[in-house]
Structure 1
Amino acid sequence: MPPHILLVGDSADLPALGAMLRGLSADTYGQVYVEVATAIQIRALPAPVNVSVTWLCRDRATSALDVIPRGIGALAHRGELASRAISAWVAEWQPCEPREPAVLSDPDASGTREDDYALWIGCSAGERISDFYRRLQQCLDEPRHP
C-alpha cells in the first residue's frame, strides 16, 4: 500500500510543506490543506500526482463561529478552516481498524515509512488548531481495542 498522507499548514508553514512534499515518493497519495488569509498567498507546491492540494482562503469563507455576519473584507477566524478540513478528513479516512499513524515532525522527513498513514499539522499559531491537535493526539494515545 502506498503511503497515505495528511499535511495541514498555513502560510508560515509553506517552506516546511514544500520540503516534505519534495521528499515524498511518486506513489504517495493523500491530501494537503493550506490555510491562507487571501488567494494572493497561494503558491505552487511540488505535490505527487495523487496528492491533492487544497487552499483554504479565509477571505472567501464565512465563519461558523459568528452569529452576526461580518462585513466585506472580513476573514474567517485563523485556524477555523484548517480545523474543519482536518475534521472532515479524519471522519472520511479514519480506518475501521485503528492503526498508529506516523507523525512527520521533521520537515526533512520523507513520509515514505511503512506506516499506513502519516500526519503533519502545522498552523501552530492558531488557537483552534492547537486545541484540535491536542484532542487528536489524545485520541491517538488512547489504548486500542481489537
Structure 2
Amino acid sequence: MNHHQAHFLLVGDASDIPAIRDILLRLPVDAYGQVFLEVGSVIQIQRLPLPEAMSVTWLRRDERSSVVDAVPPRGELVTRAVSAWISEWMPEDLCEHATPYVLWIGCSASERVDRLYEELQTRMPDLHLHHPHSDVA
C-alpha cells in the first residue's frame, strides 16, 4: 500500500449494493480498504468488482444475533463492524496522519447508523465522510 493513498471504507445494506458497486467501479485499481455490507440473508450476497487491495465482509442478519434466537435490528451489525474498524485503523488525530480516509456510509433506513455518522462527524470533523442523509439540502 502506498502510505499516502486514500484508505476507503464503504458501508451499506442491501439497498446500497448498486451504489457501492458503482463506487467500486470508479475507484483506482490500487485502491485500499474495506467494504461492509449488512444483508438479511445469503440470497442477497453478490459478487462485487473489488480492487485487489480491498475486501468485502458480508454481515448476515440471519446468522448473527444481539440476543439469543433473535435477528439483530437493522444497522446493528454494520455499526459494530465500523466501530471496530475505526478502532483498529484510524488514528485518534487525523491531522497528524498523512493518509486520507474516505468513508461512504449508507444504511439510510437505520437510526443506529445515523447516530454513528453523527458521532463520527462530530469526533472527526476533518474526515471525508458521506452519508445519504447528510447530502439532502
Whole-angstrom distance in 2 between the partners of 1:17 and 1:99: 27
Instruction: State whether structure 2 residue 83 is matched by structure 1 residue 90.
Output: no
Q: Cα RMSD between the aligned structures?
A: 2.1
Whole-angstrom distance in 1 between the partners of 2:77 and 2:95: 26
1:43-79 alpha-carbon deviations (Å, 9 max, x no partner): 111110100000000000011xx3xx23xxx421110
2:8 corresponding residue in structure 1: 5
Structure 2 counterpart SS, 1:59: coil
Instruction: State whether structure 2 residue 116 is matched by structure 1 residue 132.
Output: yes
Structure 1: tracts of 5 or more residues without a match: 101-113
Whole-angstrom distance in 2 between the partners of 1:43 and 1:34: 10
Instruction: State whether structure 2 residue 104 is matched by structure 1 residue 120.
Output: yes
Runs of 4+, deviation exceeding 4 Å: none
Counting matched residue pairs gives: 123
**CA shift for structure 1 position 99:** 3.4
Is the 8 Å Cα contact of residues 108 and 114 (structure 2) preserved in structure 1?
yes
Kindly name which structure, 1 or 2, has the bigger radius of gyration based on alpha carbons.
1
Whole-angstrom distance in 2 between the partners of 1:62 and 1:52: 23
**CA shift for structure 1 position 123:** 0.3
Among 49, 54, 58, the alignment partner of 1:51 is 54
Instruction: State whether structure 2 residue 61 is matched by structure 1 residue 77.
Output: no
Whole-angstrom distance in 2 between the partners of 1:119 and 1:29: 12
**CA shift for structure 1 position 96:** 5.0
Structure 1 counterpart SS, 2:34: strand
More helix by share: 2
Q: Name the amino acid aligned to 1:122.
A: G
Whole-angstrom distance in 1 between the partners of 2:63 and 2:103: 26
Whole-angstrom distance in 2 between the partners of 1:97 and 1:136: 13
Q: Name the amino acid aligned to 2:71.
A: L
**Percent identity over the alignment?**
48
